[in-house]
Amino acid sequence: MKIMDRDGRLFGKISIVDVIVLLVVAVMVAAVYVKTHKPQTGSNVGTTTVVYQMELENQPEYMLDAIQVGDQMFDKERSTGGSLGTITDIQVSGGTYEGKLNDGTVAMLPAEDCYNILLTIEGEALIEGNGSVMLNRIYSLGVNSNRNFNTQYANFVGTIVDLQIPGGDQ
């Protein structure tokens, strides 16, 4: 008895094309099983709640309505990281600018129709061994850093002026 006959059947019973199709299906089933049942290799590292304050200097009046308590903070350039926190408090003061006076001295003068806004934001961060704070595990956050931020209705440059880790050393 021949292994393959002239019609391309193995042992005269099953076509070689059928065998190839069955092998492809078996490989696909095995791949799906391995993909869904393999153990996770990543470690579970807990995040910590951090509270940071961001100052927005000399913002126009419409920004007072565009930024609300409860808004989520994002960075447009790093959209894969998700929210950088939730605004929990907003403090508003008159805007100022550095101006030269007639006597040649420089002083901070009130800016017309501009406001300084201090946002208090609460977010989840990973605190690394060297003390650096990583919001959403990817976004490095430090005091005095200027970044472009946005909420649902506002885009602005903010300066981080304070960073606190409740229950931590800082």
Same domain, 30 and 59: no
- Residue 45 is predicted with a pLDDT of 65
* Residue 95 buriedness (CB in 10 A; 0-12 / 13-18 / 19+): buried
My answer on whether 69 and 106 are in the same domain is yes
Does one domain contain both 7 and 63?
no
Contact (CB, 8 A) for 52 and 43: no
pLDDT (tens digit per residue) in 23-32: 999 999 999 9
Per-residue exposure over 32-52, b if at least 16 CB sit within 10 Å of its own CB, e if not: eeeeeeeeeeeeeeeeeebbb
Residues 6+ apart with CB under 8 A from 137: 45, 47, 81, 125, 126
Tell whether 158 and 83 lie within a shared domain.
Answer: yes
Do 152 and 74 lie in a common domain?
A: yes
Q: Is residue 53 part of a domain?
A: yes
DSSP secondary-structure letter at 150?
E
Say which amino acid occupies 132: S
CA-to-CA separations, 114 to 65, 100, 110, 128, in angstroms, rounded: 13, 19, 9, 38
Residue 67 within any structural domain of the chain:
yes
Mean pLDDT of 106-123: 90
pLDDT at position 41 over 70: no
Residue 43 is assigned to a structural domain of this protein:
no
Q: Does some domain include residue 170?
A: no
**Of residues 8 and 13, which shows the higher confidence score?**
13
Quote the pLDDT of residue 127. 81
Same domain, 62 and 32: no
Predicted TM-score (pTM) of this structure? 0.66
What tens digit of pLDDT does each residue of 138-160 get? Answer: 778 888 888 888 888 889 998 99
Residues 53 and 8 in one domain: no
Please indicate, yes or no, whether residues 26 and 61 belong to a single structural domain of this protein.
no
CB atoms within 10 A of CB 85: 26
Average pLDDT (118-124) is: 92
Residue 33 in any domain: the answer is yes
What whole-number distance in Å separates Cα of residue 19 and Cα of residue 8? 11
Would you say residue 80 lies in a domain? yes
With beta carbons less than 8 A apart as the criterion, state whether 148 and 155 touch. Answer: yes
| Total number of domains in the chain | 2
103 shares a domain with 154: yes
pLDDT of residue 130: 78
Which domain does 154 fall in, by range? 48-164
pLDDT tens per residue across span 80-98: 657 888 999 999 998 888 8
Amino acid at 102: N
